[in-house]
Amino acid sequence: MRGDLGKAVQDLKGESGKGLVVGGVKLPLALAELGLIDEYEFVVQPRLVGHGPTLFAGLSKRVDLRLVGRLEFGSGAVAMRYEPRAS
């Protein structure tokens, strides 16, 4: 994608469909900065590692979230869905 990320995502949000799912580190950070994320889903794996990218590192402002769903897997992983709280 090239051009204005905010405008492109707003255009996508105006189209029909069930939503847009993104992952990674850089794109979610940019979308969070623009306030364009309607729902966050975090999957926590039962494994600790001492390296790797940090999700939302460098976020310029705090985003308060409200838990809206939770799912536990047999592996011990837990998926949690959050929505941003109204500011």
Report pLDDT for 19.
Answer: 81
Nearest to 37 by CA among 84, 86, 85: 84
Domain boundaries, the chain: 5-84
What pTM was computed for the model?
0.82
Report pLDDT for 36.
Answer: 93
Report pLDDT for 41.
Answer: 95
Contact status, residue 29 vs residue 59, Cβ threshold 8 Å: yes
At 1, the pLDDT band (50, 70, 90 cuts) reads: low
pLDDT, one tens digit per residue, over 8-60 is 998 888 888 888 888 888 999 999 999 999 999 999 999 988 888 888 999 99
Average pLDDT (54-76) is 94
What CATH number was assigned to the domain covering residues 5-84? 3.40.430.10
